[in-house]
């Protein structure tokens, strides 16, 4: 049971330490794409620790499972893991982790179902507010102009993502500001940020007492917006997208002394107007490579006993 316990301890350590390190890091705002990758690798490493620990614990608890897990391995490899059949603690750990895996899958399915239902409802409302004319056929256009007194722009994910812009936004946005807003929304569509939000939301809602998953959800919501801002700013300039954000949101009170739910908007505008210095290409590459090693560590811990015997 040494390896399953080591995997659990490793997963717990990563879940506790990684969010604190990322919260203190000053480069996440400068490099949101790299930060998104790091967060995904950390969460993947935690989940992989749990999955591997569950597998080895089940192999220690039940002979039938051990036969399937170590079927092609020589007896010396099996003995290297020191798994004792009938270990009550192993059975309890395996069952608990298996239930956690089933619960995670259920939460993800619920998140996808809710998202699909909400998307269908929004599309139905869009069809009511922007109906087809007699004899007009659905064109499947990615851009939809919607009559509205409130300046707004958003994207509807799906098989054919659509960008919705209200007429008030068209009146507010000047020059290339509309193009910048569309580029921002297309950045979400291109990089499938909706899937990141679904996965992080499912983990956070399924395990609200686990801080790493709550931090993962909160950071995904913040970082995907920063990454999309960078996509738009590279094409149309930081000032253009910053002014567009102000035009779209100044009537909502988000720039007042007590911002409401969209409290990140003032921070986004400040970041665009006073751009932080980006990391060098070498540092970005090192961070990316180091993050990619996080899911590899549980695999190394799992296979070390076997490699020692075979090596």
- Over residues 67-96, the pLDDT tens digits come to 888 888 888 888 888 877 666 788 999 999
Residue-level pLDDT at 261: 58
pLDDT mean across residues, the chain: 89
Written as one string, the DSSP assignment of the chain is -HHHHHHHHHHHHHHHHHHHHHHH-SSTTT-HHHHHHHHHHHHHHHHHHHHHHHHHHHHHH-HHHHHHHTTTS-HHHHHHTT--TT-HHHHHHHHHHHHHHHHHHHHHHHHHHHHHHHHHHHHHHHHHHSPPPTTPPP---SEEEE--SS--EEEE-SSS-EEEEEHHHHHH--TTHHHHHHHHHHHHHHTTHHHHHHHHHHHHHH-TT-HHHHHHHHHHHHHHHHHHHHHHHHHH-HHHHHHHHHHHHGGGTTTSSS--S-THHHHHHHHHHSPPPPPPHHHHHHHHHHHHHTTHHHHHHHHHHHHHHH-
Mean pLDDT within 285-302:
96
* Reported confidence tier of residue 282, pLDDT bands at 50, 70, 90: very high
- Over residues 215-271, the pLDDT tens digits come to 999 999 999 999 999 999 999 999 999 999 999 988 877 776 655 556 688 999 999
- Over residues 162-218, the pLDDT tens digits come to 888 999 999 999 889 999 999 998 999 888 888 999 999 999 999 998 999 999 999
pTM over 0.95: no
Residue-level pLDDT at 138: 65
């Amino acid at each position: 049971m040494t390896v399953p316990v080591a995997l659990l301890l490793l997963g717990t350590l990563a879940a506790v330490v990684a969010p604190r390190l990322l919260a203190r890091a000053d480069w996440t705002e400068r490099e949101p794409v790299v930060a998104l990758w790091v967060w995904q690798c950390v969460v993947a490493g935690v989940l992989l620790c749990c999955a591997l620990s569950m597998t080895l614990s089940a192999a220690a608890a039940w002979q039938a499972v051990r036969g399937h897990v170590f079927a092609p391995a020589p007896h010396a490899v099996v003995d290297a893991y020191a798994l004792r059949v009938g270990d009550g603690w192993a059975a309890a750990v395996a069952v608990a982790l298996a239930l956690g895996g089933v619960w995670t899958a259920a939460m993800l399915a619920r998140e996808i179902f809710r998202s699909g239902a909400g998307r269908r409802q929004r599309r139905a409302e869009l069809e009511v507010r922007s109906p087809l004319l007699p004899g007009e056929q659905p064109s499947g256009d990615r851009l939809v102009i919607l009559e509205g007194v409130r300046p707004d722009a958003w994207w509807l994910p799906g098989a054919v993502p659509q960008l919705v812009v209200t007429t008030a936004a068209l009146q507010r946005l000047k020059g290339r500001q509309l193009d910048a807003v569309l580029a921002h929304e297309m950045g979400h569509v291109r990089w499938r940020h909706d899937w990141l939000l679904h996965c992080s939301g499912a983990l956070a809602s399924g395990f609200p007492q686990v801080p790493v998953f709550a931090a993962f959800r909160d950071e995904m919501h913040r970082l995907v917006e920063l990454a999309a801002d960078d996509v738009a700013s590279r094409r149309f300039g930081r000032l253009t997208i910053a002014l567009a954000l102000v035009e779209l949101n100044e009537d909502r009170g988000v720039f007042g002394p007590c911002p409401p739910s969209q409290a990140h908007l003032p921070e986004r505008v400040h970041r665009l107007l006073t751009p932080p210095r980006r990391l060098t290409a070498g540092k970005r590459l090192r961070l990316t490579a180091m993050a990619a090693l996080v899911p590899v560590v549980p695999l190394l811990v799992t296979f070390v006993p076997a490699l020692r015997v075979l090596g």
